Amino acid sequence: MSTTTGKLGLIKPGISDEVQQTIIDLAFNFQKLDDVAEMYMSNAPTQGNWKVGIRVWKSSPNIGDYVGWVNIRQGEACPKWNPLYQYNMGDKIVPINDNGHYYECIQTGRSGPNEPSFPTTAGVSINDTQGATKWTPTHSYKLNEIVFPSADNNRFYICTVSGVSGATEPVWSTVDGGTVSDGMVVWTGYRIAKWIEKGTSALFRNFGKID
């Protein structure tokens, strides 16, 4: 008859156990050991669902550094949002400033130069076009300002050469990275990335300062 160990609750097969049951018990033990095995990484995790209390050790710690990271909120680990970055459907991110949520890209495109005001209501979506305005004639535009055409084409245009726009609206390029001359201004266009709130994000924090 099988028994269990005191610390991890591993199964110790007995001589009289059936072979199939012994194999099942050993597989259970291997999984238990894997679950509690130490993990070493060069950076905090940015993918996968993590339980509270899971520790990840830094693979190359130094004096004045921390020995690793500990997760203090169960959820999905994701990289932080980046400006003017090409995202594909299914990519996941968290805001630069933690709000407890993570987001999934539901439309392939480029992020804007300014971080969006990410919603915290479940299932709400948002376009990555924070600060964008409708194009205006004979208007002074600065670098990195973004506009939409008068007729929506699912793209935004970022000012890459500052100046005063023309008197009439330009013909907007629909090629990613395509440029448009507009009076003194030059615009570069991109397809808009779109995000949807997907749930709770993990939160890894540093622990164990090395003196």
pLDDT of 129 reads: 98
Please enumerate in sequence order all residues whose Cβ is within 8 A of that of 146, keeping only pairs 6 or more positions apart, or say none: 112, 113, 129, 131, 132, 133, 156, 157, 158, 159
73-106 in b/e burial notation, b at 16+ Cβ within 10 A?
eebbbbeebeeeeebeeebbbbbeeeeebbbbbe
**pTM: predicted TM-score of the whole model, two decimal places:** 0.85
Low-confidence ranges of the chain (pLDDT < 70): none
| Cα 173 to chain centroid, rounded | 29
Helix (H, G, I), strand (E, B) or coil at 26: helix
pLDDT digits (tens, 9 = 90+) for 142-151: 999 999 999 9
pLDDT of 200 reads: 98
pLDDT of 183 reads: 98
DSSP-assigned letter for residue 146: E
